[in-house]
A and B are shown apart, each in its own frame.
Chain A
Amino acid sequence: MSVNKQKYKKYVEKSAKKSPIVKNCVKAFLVGGLICAIGQALMQLYMYLDISEEVSKALVSVSLIFITALLTGFGIFDNIAKHAGAGTLVPITGFANSVVSPALDNKSEGWIMGLGAKIFIIAGPVILYGTTASVIYGVIYYLCKVLL
């Protein structure tokens, strides 16, 4: 059967049920905000415990990563993320989940070729291009400082 591909694609895209963007944005805003508020509360707590500001900042990240890893392991995180979307993806929780979940998943293929090789299958691009971008940014920053 000859299908007019362009026409069909347009028809499919136009008639397909759309994601509820407004609802998703509100949920992402609320959950993302809540995670940040938890981070801030942890920050206050660590500072209250007489930990220096710099160490407290690192501890907040570590705490959020730990909580995410734990929730991912218990199979809870993906159930929150399917509602929260960018709300859980954008904070450090998204990054932690993207490393822990393939590690769990690929354990069945062994520690080296499974877990070891696949652990960064989702986070890998972020690490690669994030690092590259920061190097480029550093060079530009340096040149600006020297020239200006």
Chain B
Amino acid sequence: MIIKLKSAPTITTSSCVGGKEERRGPLGDKLDFYDESDKFDCDTWEKSESEMQRRAFNHLLSKRKLQISDIDVLIAGDLINQCTSSSYGLLSFDIPYIGIFGACSTAALGLGLCGILCDGGYTKNAAIVTSSHFCSAERQFRFPLEYGSQRPPTAQHTATAAGAFLIEKEGKGAHIDEVMFGITVDAGISDANNMGAAMAPAAVDTLLKYFRESGTGLEDYDLIVTGDLGYEGHRIVTEMMHTLGYDMSGVYNDCGLMLYDRQKQDMHAGASGCGCSAFAMAASVLPDIVSGKYKNVLFLGSGALLSQASVLQGENIPGVVHLVKLSHREG
């Protein structure tokens, strides 16, 4: 179901911080802050991730020249168990806090929720912060960091990045016109090294439902961007849409393909993680909407809903994809 935001709240400010590989990538010079060591002056990787969120949000406040007390509500989420990167990272801000879990779709889910809160008149503004850290994610989901293993070409690299966005009822920036929350789709994929394939059917599902209900098509958008499907997921979505009569070439991109030079940086199928789409949106897509390069954009945040236990128990990996329609407005 499409939720139409009549007042079209604005993403007025965004910020992003990242690690070494993100700095080396094509969007590296857009980072507000980066740390070559990926540690962010902390002694554990979990704290490093929290620190990224804290810094991202601090940058957001200083960019918009706002005080902590000016923010009505803070929504945040990440991949670490019970979303501790968010709760610990944002602990020092005395702002009503809502922790959400949408796996890697958190940025889109949060933007949607913030938009609804502002559009409904419940808050004058709302902020969403999200992050992922390669090292804390590896520790939780895969192997120890120094363990010597080979990754298949379909595997993705969890981005070490955090992004923060401020949504306001009025202001200049990219407008949130519509939100569509996706359903969870189990496509039968249980391989945690191919999450792009696990999430791709959910992306197609949400996109098709949106097209059907809104009565729009590919020609109505300058850019359709998915969260972190990577090379495999991007290819599958393109092929699935092609069989349904949609030619995605030229209009479709994926945040997972924007962060790194996959060959030079040896990143296999590209980036993933909550920080992936947050960073790509803050660093590239949103500025291009503000500048008017893109007038209408569909942002589809993709999440793979797995845990270490579910993978070990051989369960399939369900995907969920939330859609946010963004637009540029003159004046």
Residues 81-112 of A, flagged 1 when their CB comes within 8 A of B and 0 if not, give 11011001100001001101110111010000
A19 sits at the interface (CB 8 A)? yes
List B residues 162-217 near A (Cβ within 8 Å): 183, 185-189, 194, 197, 201-202, 204-205, 208
Output the least CB separation between B183 and chain A (Å).
Answer: 8
Contact with A along B226-254 (1 / 0, CB 8 A): 00000110011001000000000000000
Q: Is the CB of A105 within 8 A of B145?
A: yes
- A residues 1-54 near B (Cβ < 8 Å) are 1, 3, 5-6, 8-9, 12, 15-19, 24
Shortest distance between the CB of A93 and any CB in chain B (Å): 8
Size bracket of the B interface:
35 or more
Query: Which residue of B151, B153, B188 contacts A18 across the interface (Cβ within 8 Å)?
Result: B153
* Beta-carbon contact of B147 and A97 below 8 Å: yes
Contact of A102 among B144, B204, B239 (CB under 8 A): B144
CB distance from A88 to the nearest CB of B (A): 6
Chain B residues with Cβ below 8 Å from A78 are 145-149
List B contacts of A77 (CB < 8 A).
146, 148
A19–B151 Cα distance when bound, in Å, is 9
Q: Which residues of B contact A124 (CB under 8 A)?
A: none
Q: With A102-B144, A105-B139, A108-B43 in contact, do A19 and B201 touch (Cβ < 8 Å)?
A: no
Q: How far is the CB of B140 from chain A (nearest CB, A)?
A: 11
A102 near B147 (CB under 8 angstroms)? yes
Determine how close the nearest CB of chain A comes to the CB of B205; give it in whole angstroms. 4
Measured between C-beta atoms, what is the minimum distance from A14 to chain B in Å? 11
Report whether A1 and B144 are in contact in the complex, using a CB–CB cutoff of 8 Å. Answer: no
Q: Is the interface of B mostly helix, strand, loop or mixed?
A: loop
| Chain B positions 95-144 with a Cβ under 8 Å from a chain A Cβ | 139, 143-144
Chain A: interface residue total (CB-CB under 8 A): 37
A106 pairs with B144, CB closer than 8 A = yes
Residue of A nearest to B146 (CB): A101
Q: Is the CB of A94 within 8 A of B201?
A: no
- The SS class assigned to the A binding surface is helix
CB atoms of B232 and A17 under 8 A apart: yes
Q: Report the Cα distance A105→B197, complex, angstroms.
A: 30
A135 adjacent to chain B (CB < 8 Å): no
Q: Which residue of B lies closest to A84 (CB)?
A: B148
Distance of B325 from chain A, by nearest CB (Å):
20
**B residues in contact with A98, CB < 8 Å:** 147
Residues of B near A101 (CB, < 8 A) are 143-148
Residue in contact with B197 in the complex, picked from A12, A19, A72, A82, CB distance below 8 Å: A12
A122 at the interface (CB under 8 A from B): yes
Q: Is B154's beta carbon under 8 Å from chain A?
A: yes
- Could you mark each residue 121-137 of chain A with 1 if its beta carbon is under 8 Å from any beta carbon of chain B, else 0? 11000000000000000
**Contact between chains at A16 and B194 (CB < 8 Å):** yes
B152 beta carbon closer than 8 Å to chain A:
yes
Give the complex CA separation of A102 and B218 in angstroms. Answer: 48
Residue of B with least CB distance to A68: B148
Give the chain A neighbours of B143 by CB distance below 8 A. Answer: 101, 122
Q: Could you list some 9 contacts between A and B, CB below 8 A?
A: A5-B187, A15-B236, A16-B232, A17-B231, A78-B146, A84-B148, A102-B144, A105-B146, A108-B43
Partner-A contacts on B (CB < 8 A): 43-46, 139, 143-154, 183, 185-189, 194, 197, 201-202, 204-205, 208, 231-232, 235-236, 239, 269, 316
